[in-house]
Structure 1
């Protein structure tokens, strides 16, 4: 096929489409590309004219992909990432490279941040940007390289690698629960329980796994993240559900105790994820290897 007959769209139009599809406002897409809104709009119109189809539903005030637009994005985005990876592989390595990692808020504060200083010292050319959140992030839309997710691993469109099991057991300040307590249900009724909104069923799951009736949580203290719950329990204001690896340091320092015994598997786990079919950049691969090593997992990929 000659250059005249090529059916490839202008690359600027593809980049404009990709940026627009990753945001819900033209202004955000334009800022990402370093151009004006009118330039992005022009490139989108040019692409739609070439493809003879509408890529965005313009009945909404925000950018919403049509079904055709979503299919087109799914096909071209991997190709653009391949081009980026191929270019990156031969460019001189100058300056700091950015890798974006999203993970549960509590895990960021209690597991990752204590390890981050050593990583940064060993990788001065990398800028690891953390996106702590309790929600499941759309990695492609939010332009996230890697994600640590908590759950049972049943997510679509991501490649996942097991990091470690989630182990849970109630924790309290030393002395709150008398030593040698046998009647666990009575202790739970006599003390205020702490519930974390991001894992609202943890008390029920823990109780059922041990053949107990789930405790009454109507008067429980509800907090947003695990770290808050542990802090309140540490201050002696109730019993929280402790989870590895969040409680390890507090147990070692004697700030918390496990009055009902060691933690047991909850059925959930932590996984390191990235989008299926999208090659990781060289910096993202380095972060992935580090996270796996910190979790004691051999990198097989």
Structure 2
């Protein structure tokens, strides 16, 4: 997992099609980059002469400030895109051999610091009551929470769109299904980065490409 996060910023180096092409810096959550954006870039590179540099959302540590950020955002907050490129369905998943297929009795719940009320939202949407015997584990982000679910640590609330392959091949199961929980994917032009005029159409075309390819990939 550490290696996957460390490689995020250089993962699209091979997609550089021209050394003098404009460089669009895209900040993305690690789980989204690893399970959605990087495979999308590999399957259908963006059109035109554009260099896509992926970075983490936190611009600390000498990282460049993104021109565009891709992250989960509450629907009640300010949305910068009229539609989301991914479905807004979320639900608890776990390793098929780690836990019983019944309501979350005594099952360890994996929380993420980036979405601390995910389990509360799920309980309200599903009409479930928290089990006092359930253990609690806290992870920094969704990528670590997903990894915890994959290795049998417990159950994690995750976006359906990021675990389709794992559900299809049986690495994860979602016995309670997926529901809207008031959260969706937002593609947000950054107001903090220095944005050369030449990059404005590049960013616009990249956002359009994201929406188009997301629809194509969901139908594959």
Shared topology, TM-score over 0.5?
yes
Does residue 247 (structure 1) correspond to residue 163 (structure 2)? The answer is yes
Alignment of 1:99-138 (within 5 A): 99-120=24-45, 123=47, 125-133=49-57
Corresponding residue number in structure 2 for 1:169: 91
Name the SS for the 2:83 alignment partner: strand
Stretches of structure 2 that go unaligned for 5 or more consecutive residues are 1-17
Name the SS for the 1:229 alignment partner: helix
- 1:214–1:155 distance in 2 versus 1, CA, 3 Å: same
Structure 1 distance, partners of 2:188, 2:200, is: 14
Alpha-carbon distance, 1:221 to partner? 1.3
Contact 2:95 2:151 in 1 (8 A): yes
Corresponding residue number in structure 2 for 1:238: 154
Contact 1:189 1:215 in 2 (8 A): yes
- 1:151–1:98 distance in 2 versus 1, CA, 3 Å: same
TM-score, normalisation: structure 2: 0.73
Contact 1:165 1:268 in 2 (8 A): no
Question: What's the Cα RMSD here?
Answer: 2.9
Corresponding residue number in structure 2 for 1:285: 204
Equivalent position to 2:71, from 119, 140, 149? 149
The structure with the largest alpha-carbon Rg is 1
Stretches of structure 1 that go unaligned for 5 or more consecutive residues are 1-92
Alignment of 1:180-195 (within 5 A): 181=102, 184=103, 188-195=104-111
Alignment of 1:20-169 (within 5 A): 95-120=20-45, 123=47, 125-133=49-57, 143-153=65-75, 159-163=80-84, 164-169=86-91
Structure 2 distance, partners of 1:125, 1:243, is: 32
Name the SS for the 2:23 alignment partner: strand
Contact 1:150 1:270 in 2 (8 A): yes
Name the SS for the 2:162 alignment partner: coil
**Alignment deviations for residues 105-132 of structure 1 (CA, whole Å, 9 cap, x no partner):** 2211111111122344x64732111122
Structure 2 distance, partners of 1:230, 1:247, is: 9
Contact 2:125 2:179 in 1 (8 A): no
Higher helix share: 1
Structure 2 distance, partners of 1:231, 1:143, is: 28
Alpha-carbon distance, 1:224 to partner? 1.3
